[in-house]
Amino acid sequence: MFIDLAIIGAGPYGLSIAAHLRKAGLSFRIFGCPMQSWRERMPKGMHLKSEGFASCLYDPDGAFPLSRFCRERNLPYAEVGLPTPLETFVAYGLEFQKRYVPMLEEADVIMVRRAGEGFELETATSQSILARRVIVATGLSHFARLPEDLAGLPRGLATHSSDHHDLTRFEGMRVAMIGAGASALDLAALLHEAGAHVEVVARASRIAFHTLMAEPRPLWERIRNPRSGLGIGWRSRLATDAPLLFHFMPQEFRMRVVRTHLGPAPGWFIRSRVEGRVPMHVGTEVESASVNGGKVHLQLRNKERCGTELVADHVIAATGYSVSVSKLPFLHDSLRYGIQCVENAPVLSTNFQTSLPGLYMVGVASANSFGPLVRFAYGAGFTARRITAHLVSTARASGFARTRAARTGVTSD
C-alpha cells in the first residue's frame, strides 16, 4: 500500500520540512539519522561560520530558534558576532527533532526505484516502502570532490575534509591541507591544536578571511550594506529574499552566481588561530602527487613557476563539493540517469520537483535552481515553507478529485 510521502534525510532541511508537514496535517514518513553529517562529518571543535540568527532549524511557528535553545540550556548565544560551536548546533538539532519530528525512523534508505506511479524505498533494515512522492534531503555527504591528482592516492594517505570528525589520530603527523576556504582553515587550526604539523596549500593568492562587522551599525551603513542570513551586502540580501526570482533568471546567470558568490572564505574568528602558527603556501598548486616510503610527495608550483616538494604523512583535500545526481548511490540507475540535469545538477520546478514527477530534491542539490541561499542551513526555512505549500495544494486537489470521482463515478488521470 502506498504512503503519500517519504523524506530521505534528517538534517536541517529534512527536519524542517517534516515539522512543517506535520503542522499542516499531511501524512509522511521520514528516514535517516538526525543531524548525521553534522555529527559524523564535521570536525570536533569547529564553529559555524553563519551568525547565530542564521543557524536555526525551522518549525512553522518560529517558536524554537537556536536562541531559545541556548537560553533554555544556559549556553552562550548572540545574534551576531559570537560563533556557534558545532556541539551546540548538533545538540540543538537533536532537540528540535525530539520536539517536532518524533516520528523519525532511524533507518538508512539504500535504494529508491520506480514502482508504478510512485516509488519503492528499501531500507538497510530490509523494509520496503511504497510512496507516491519522495523528497531527497541528504545534504552534502555524497558530493565530496577530490582533485584528480589526489583521487588516485591510497585512501589511507589522502582523504576529503568531510571524512574527519575526531582529529586526535593526527597528533605528531605531518599533514598537507589543500584549500583556502572555511573547511581548510578550520581543520588546519584544529589539527595544529591537536599536535599535528600541518601546512596549507592554496591556489588563491591570499586567504580571504571574513571580516567581523560590528553592531550596531550606522543607518547609512545598514542601507549601503544590509545584513542577511548569508552575510553583508545587497547581493546576499537578494539571494535570501528572492530565491524564486533567481529561479526565473537565465540558466547561464544562475550557474555563474552559484559558482562565484559566497565562496568558501574562512570565518573571521579562525584567523588568529592560524596566522603565524600554520605555514601557508598561497598562490600554489599541486602539480602531481606520488607515494614513496609510505609518505605522500606533493610537487608544488607557485605563480612564478618555482617548484618545491612537500612531503606529508597524510593529505586532506578541503576542496569542496560538486553536486551530481549520479553520485547519489541510493537512486536506482533508471532514476539517476532519468533526471534532467544541467552540469550534473537537477533541473527543478519552482516547487523543488525534478523532471520525474513525484521526486523532489532540496538543499545544496537545489542551488542551481534557487541560488546560494539553499547551500546553507538558513535556506531550510524558505524550502520548508515552499514545498509544504505545494504539497498542501496538491493534497487538496487530489482530495477534490477523489471526492468528485466518488460522487460521479468518473475517475480522472
- pLDDT digits 0-9 by tens, 224-278: 989 888 888 899 999 999 999 999 999 999 999 998 887 778 989 999 999 999 9
Band (pLDDT 50/70/90 cuts) for residue 305 is low
Pull the grid cell for residue 52.
547565530
Exposed e or buried b for every residue in 85-116, given b needs 16+ CB within 10 A?
bbbbbbbbbbbbbeebbeebbebebeebeeee
Q: In angstroms, rounded to a whole number, what is the distance separating the alpha carbons of residues 29 and 132?
A: 12
Nearest residue to 317 via CA among 177, 175, 157: 177
Residue 257 CA to its chain's centroid (Å): 17
Q: What is the pLDDT of residues 88-130, one digit of tens each?
A: 999 999 999 999 999 999 999 999 999 998 999 999 999 999 9
**Assigned superfamily of 148-209+265-317:** FAD/NAD(P)-binding domain (3.50.50.60)
Domain with CATH 3.50.50.60 in the chain: 2-143+321-408, 148-209+265-317
Domain 2-143+321-408: CATH architecture, name and number where available = 3-Layer(bba) Sandwich (3.50)
Tallying the residues shown for the chain, one arrives at 413
Q: In angstroms, rounded to a whole number, what is the distance separating the alpha carbons of residues 179 and 93?
A: 29
Question: Is 56's pLDDT higher than 90?
Answer: yes
**pTM, two decimal places:** 0.93
